[in-house]
């Protein structure tokens, strides 16, 4: 597949009517973005029942599925295995997703966010066998799973379940050699098993769109026509066996930049790949908390603590204490403060990045609440 065809619209970070309310998707803005995306020749969308507190799927239904013929788009949805405990929950959850998306079948369907723990649940309740049955029924065209663990666990799953067609992996140049995320090792494992790949978090939750000035200068010197975000997307799209690169676009400006960039995207040279991997070392040293703002932890928090928003403010503190404090105060209004954390660790079991959230919230508390 040519690079220019690989762009996918991830529906995790849609435009909001109020940026403090994740469930309030701006349908008018999303419709404009979806129209731009489809008119530029792209077709693939990616959603989940947990995105935007459950409002991503209905937004897709109203802004895309109801307005376009079924063959105008493809859609991925997912079974949230971090929330599913019994086999009896699989079918009603799946039917709910079909209804909320306004479709009769899914082009791609994943077991969502597998790691060693959720994989054990899948095996216990027969989730892979259920998924294969959905394919036999024609309700799912292509099967797979999204993955957040090390390469050894991925190898175990793919060895046991060669029937799945796809693996969705977190891949970006910042995580390529990261010892925890193991992007490169997971990519190589999927390839060894002959699986097609879809890439999530190519911009690392926005971290690779807002790189340090020194890194930005290096990238501009190499090619002044490309933004840092496009460099990150280009890294992901240049990998072989990759069918789609998900971009969680939040504005029409981002959509227009990405669709225009992909139309003329060229594979990275070896020298450019090396340049990005050197840049990753510099970027990594400046990120205190490597959170991607997926917000799975927020749904799990009984104290309504906006964890990713506090982490974002924390990461900005060294650059601008005033702006960081203002951001913290804005997100604290109407939500739980860091001191409300009861260290239940529910958030940590939902975190794809395996962050020690309770400990990190303690650091946030010390910095902003004294």
Residue 178, domain CATH: 3.20.20.100
Q: Give the single-character DSSP code of 174.
A: T
Same domain, 163 and 240: yes
Same domain, 144 and 263: yes
- Which of 250, 285, 320 is where one domain is finished? 285
- pLDDT tens digits for range 108-117: 999 999 999 9
pTM, entire model = 0.88
Same domain, 263 and 328: no
Same domain, 306 and 333: yes
Same domain, 77 and 139: yes
What are φ and ψ of residue 110, in 5° steps?
-115, 150
Does a structural domain hold residue 291? no
Residues 6+ positions from 333 with CB-CB distance below 8 Å: 20
- Which of 226, 250, 285 is where one domain is finished? 285
Does a structural domain hold residue 290? no
Point out the residues of the chain with pLDDT beneath 50. none
> Can you give the three-state secondary structure of 315-351, one letter per residue?
HHCCCCHHHHHHHHHHHHCCCCCHHHCCCCCHHHHHC
Same domain, 315 and 347: yes
Domain that holds residue 158: 3-285
pLDDT at site 188: 98
Q: Across the strands, what pairs with 79?
A: 111
Same domain, 280 and 304: no
Q: Give the single-character DSSP code of 162.
A: T
- Residue for token pair 């929330």: 83
Does a structural domain hold residue 276? yes
Same domain, 224 and 356: no
Question: Do 175 and 202 contact (CB within 8 A), yes or no?
Answer: no
Same domain, 206 and 346: no
Same domain, 355 and 229: no
pLDDT at site 353: 83
Tokens of 101: 């998306």
pLDDT at site 4: 78
Cα separation, 102 vs 140, whole angstroms:
14
Does a structural domain hold residue 279? yes
Same domain, 113 and 147: yes
Cα separation, 201 vs 204, whole angstroms:
5
Does a structural domain hold residue 73? yes
Beta carbons within 10 angstroms of residue 31's beta carbon: 16
Question: Do 29 and 249 contact (CB within 8 A), yes or no?
Answer: no
Tokens of 177: 């050699």
Q: Considering its fold, how many domains does the chain have in total?
A: 2
- pLDDT tens digits for range 12-42: 999 999 988 888 999 999 999 999 999 999 9
Beta carbons within 10 angstroms of residue 161's beta carbon: 21
- Which of 237, 264, 285 is where one domain is finished? 285
Cα separation, 342 vs 182, whole angstroms:
31
pLDDT at site 365: 86
Tokens of 150: 């090390």
Cα separation, 90 vs 93, whole angstroms:
5
Does a structural domain hold residue 79? yes
Same domain, 324 and 176: no
Tokens of 22: 């994740």
Number of helical H runs and strand E runs in the chain: 16, 8
Could you tell me the end-to-end alpha-carbon distance of the chain, in angstroms, rounded to an integer? 53
Query: Of 358, 357, 309, which is closest to residue 334 (Cα–Cα)?
Result: 309
Does a structural domain hold residue 163? yes
pLDDT at site 64: 98
Does a structural domain hold residue 59? yes
Cα separation, 46 vs 56, whole angstroms:
10
Write the CA distances from 274 to 179, 222, 280, integer angstroms: 18, 12, 10
């Amino acid at each position: 597949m040519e690079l220019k065809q690989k762009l996918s619209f991830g529906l995790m970070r849609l435009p909001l009517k109020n940026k403090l309310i994740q469930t309030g998707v701006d349908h008018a803005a999303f419709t404009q973005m979806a129209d731009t995306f489809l008119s530029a020749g792209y077709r693939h969308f990616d959603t989940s029942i947990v995105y935007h507190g459950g409002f991503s799927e209905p937004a897709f239904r109203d802004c895309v599925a109801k307005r376009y013929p079924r063959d105008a788009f493809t859609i991925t949805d997912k079974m949230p295995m971090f929330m599913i405990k019994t086999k009896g929950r699989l079918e009603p959850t799946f039917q709910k997703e079909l209804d909320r998306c306004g479709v009769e079948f899914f082009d791609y369907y994943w077991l969502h966010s597998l790691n060693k723990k959720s994989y054990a649940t899948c095996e216990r309740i027969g989730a892979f066998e259920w998924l294969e049955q959905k394919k036999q029924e024609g309700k799912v065209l292509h099967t797979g799973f999204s993955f957040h663990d090390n390469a050894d666990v991925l190898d175990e799953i793919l060895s046991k379940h060669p029937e799945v067609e796809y693996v969705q992996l977190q891949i970006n140049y910042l995580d390529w050699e990261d010892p925890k995320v193991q992007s490169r090792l997971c990519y190589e494992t999927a390839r060894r098993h002959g699986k097609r790949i879809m890439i999530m978090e190519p911009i690392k939750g926005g971290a690779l769109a807002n790189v340090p000035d020194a890194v930005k200068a290096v990238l501009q010197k190499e090619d002044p026509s490309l933004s840092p975000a496009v460099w990150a997307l280009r890294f992901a799209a240049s990998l072989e066996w990759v069918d789609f690169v998900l971009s969680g676009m939040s504005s029409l400006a981002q959509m227009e930049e990405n669709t225009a960039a992909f139309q003329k995207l060229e594979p990275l040279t070896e020298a450019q790949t090396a340049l990005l991997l050197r840049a990753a070392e510099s970027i990594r040293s400046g990120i205190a908390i490597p959170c991607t703002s997926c917000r799975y932890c927020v749904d799990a928090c009984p104290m309504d603590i906006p964890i990713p928003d506090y982490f974002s403010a924390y990461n900005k503190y060294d650059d601008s204490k005033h702006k960081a404090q203002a951001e913290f105060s804005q997100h604290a209004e109407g939500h739980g403060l860091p001191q409300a954390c009861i260290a239940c660790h529910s958030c940590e079991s939902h975190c794809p990045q395996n962050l020690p959230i309770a400990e990190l919230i303690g650091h946030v508390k010390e910095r902003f609440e004294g």
